[in-house]
Structure 1
Amino acid sequence: MSTTHTRTVITGMAAVTPIGLGTEEFWKAALTGANGISELARFDASGYPSRLAGQILDFEARDHLPSRLLPQTDVSTRYALVAADRALADAEVAAGTLPDYDMGVVTSNALGGFEFTHHEFRKLWSQGPEFVSVYESFAWFYAVNTGQISIRNAMRGPSAALVAEQAGGLDAIGHARRTVRRGTRLVLSGGVDSALDPWGWAAQLAGGRVSTSDDPARAYLPFDREAAGYVPGEGGAILIVEDAESAHERGVARVHGEVLGYAATFDPRPGSGRPPGLRRAAELALEEAGLTPAGIDVVFADAAGIPDLDRAEAEAVTGLFGRGRVPVTAPKALTGRMYAGGGPADVIMALLALRDQVIPGTPGTSDVPDDYGLDLVIGEPRERAMTHALVLARGRWGFNSAVVVGAPQR
Structure 2
Amino acid sequence: MTHRRQFMLCAAAFAVAATLPLSAAAEAPAKVGFVYVSPIGDAGWTFQHDLGRKALEAAFGDRIETRYVESVAEGADAERVIREFAASGSKIVFATSFGYMNYVERVARQFPNVTFLHATGYKSAKNFAPYNARFYEGRYLNGVIAGKMTKSNVLGYVGAFPIPEVLQGINAFTMGARSVNPNVEVRVIWANSWYDPGKEREAAMTLISQGADMLTHHTDSTATVQAAEEKGVHAFAYHSDMSKYGPKAQLTATTHHWGEFYKRTVDAVLAGTWKPEGVWGGMKDGMIKLTPLNPAIPEDVQTMVRDLEAKITAGSFHPFTGPVVDQAGTERLATGAVMDDAALGKMDYFVQGVSSRLPNAK
> Under TM normalisation by the shorter chain, which class is it?
under 0.3
Would you tell me which structure has more helix in proportion to its own residues? 2
Task: With the length of structure 2 as denominator, give the TM-score of the two structures.
Answer: 0.28
Q: Which has the higher contact order (CA 8 A, sep 6+)?
A: 1
TM-score (norm 1): 0.25
Please identify the structure whose Cα radius of gyration is greater.
Answer: 2
